[in-house]
Amino acid sequence: MNSRRRFLTTASLAATGLALAPLAACSRDTVASAGTAATPAAPAGPAPTPAAGALLTRTIPATGEALPVIGAGTSGSYEVALGSPEFEALKETMKVFFEGGGRVFDTSPNYGNADEVLGALLADGGWRDQCFLATKIAADDRASMEAQWAESQRKLQTEKVELLLVHNLRALDIAWPYAQELKAQGLAKYIGFTHYIESGHDATTRAVRELKPDFVQINYSVNAPQAARTVLPAAQDAGAAVLINRAFDDGRLFAEVGNRELPGWAAELGITSWAQLFLKFAISHPAVTAVIPATSRPDRQADQLQAGTGPLLSDAQQTELVRLFA
């Protein structure tokens, strides 16, 4: 696709037909202070600047509990050797995240050693109490699920998690009753399930309608906005909180934009990077509770948190982005 087509102006764009819900529906938005009373003092020296303003929060429909709209994922970015230079660097990334007001961390036993790395980093930094920790069940039979959950508890260094998700709907007929049992035992505060590609959206939508989970996690990005027609409205109807994965299309969107300039209106909204714009797009849908981008780098982490501040995108701006990346 040529650059001329991709970077059209708002005025020249027609509606896409995507059901982007009106921003007036974002009545659950509130703002929370960056950091908490338990947060250590900001470090001296050239550490990345945390989000300048307060992070927006959205509430979990099941309970009304508020969560900051910018979370973090561990796939790839947290799959490093314990004690390695990369592991040491992640300590700073995590510090930027929590000191900037972040809370939600998403991981999975499927992400190499990420559970173990995340558990070690949360313990090392003393962040566990501040963290809304989500992990997953990703196995095919009950015995394997039980063994996997026990391993997750050990690796994450926690007895309970805030959220337990069935990974990609895997063996949902077995995994869902098991997740319900763990919730009833108080070991998972919320339960739900995930998917990550469009071919899984129909099944995810059906499961949302049928099982009415506390949470659903799905992919949604400027170049893959299909969930706005399927999973996101179903979640709103079912009263499910929504986590967004792959908001950068696993990093591919950065290669696509290269050094191109942001749309002219981005500066008016205080948006200074493509990462902020991609995340703003995700959280501008009113069904979305939080987006969980992955990064290993402290500077990128600070930049991502910035997306959780300031105004959201208008319907026209969201539509323009979808057209730019179609």
Q: For binding to ligand NAP (CB under 6 A), which residues are involved?
A: 73-77, 106, 167-168, 194-196, 217, 245-251, 254, 275, 292-297, 300
Tokens of 227: 């969930």
Task: Name the residue nearer to ligand NAP (CB basis): 250 or 315.
Answer: 250
Task: Name the residue nearer to ligand NAP (CB basis): 125 or 298.
Answer: 298
Q: Measured between alpha carbons, how far is 62 from 143 in angstroms, rounded to an integer?
A: 29
Task: Name the residue nearer to ligand NAP (CB basis): 194 or 314.
Answer: 194
Tokens of 254: 């950065």
Among candidates 278, 252, 276, 241, which has minimal Cα distance to 134? 241
Task: Name the residue nearer to ligand NAP (CB basis): 174 or 316.
Answer: 174
Nearest residue to ligand NAP by CB is 73
- Minimum distance of ligand NAP from residue 248's CB (angstroms): 3
- Minimum distance of ligand NAP from residue 221's CB (angstroms): 7
Contact 279, 247 (CB under 8 A): yes
Task: Name the residue nearer to ligand NAP (CB basis): 60 or 292.
Answer: 292
- Minimum distance of ligand NAP from residue 2's CB (angstroms): 23
Residues contacting 72, CB < 8 A, separation 6+: 97, 102, 104, 105, 106, 292, 293, 294, 295, 301, 304
- Minimum distance of ligand NAP from residue 326's CB (angstroms): 18
Tokens of 24: 């007036």
Contact 215, 241 (CB under 8 A): yes
- Minimum distance of ligand NAP from residue 108's CB (angstroms): 6
Among candidates 111, 223, 220, which has minimal Cα distance to 156? 111
- Minimum distance of ligand NAP from residue 82's CB (angstroms): 17
- Minimum distance of ligand NAP from residue 12's CB (angstroms): 28
Q: Which residue in this structure is represented by tokens 């947060």? A: 39
Strand, helix or coil for residue 93 = helix
Q: Measured between alpha carbons, how far is 191 from 215 in angstroms, rounded to an integer?
A: 6
Task: Name the residue nearer to ligand NAP (CB basis): 196 or 265.
Answer: 196
Task: Name the residue nearer to ligand NAP (CB basis): 182 or 275.
Answer: 275
- Minimum distance of ligand NAP from residue 318's CB (angstroms): 18
Contact 78, 280 (CB under 8 A): no
Task: Name the residue nearer to ligand NAP (CB basis): 11 or 282.
Answer: 282
User: Residue 215 forms beta bridges with which residues?
Assistant: 192, 241
DSSP string of 261-273, one letter each residue: PPPGGGGGGT--S
Contact 219, 250 (CB under 8 A): no
Which ranges of 169-314 does DSSP label H, i.e. alpha helix? 172-184, 201-211, 231-238, 252-257, 274-283, 298-306
Task: Name the residue nearer to ligand NAP (CB basis): 130 or 295.
Answer: 295
Strand, helix or coil for residue 106 = strand
- Minimum distance of ligand NAP from residue 306's CB (angstroms): 11
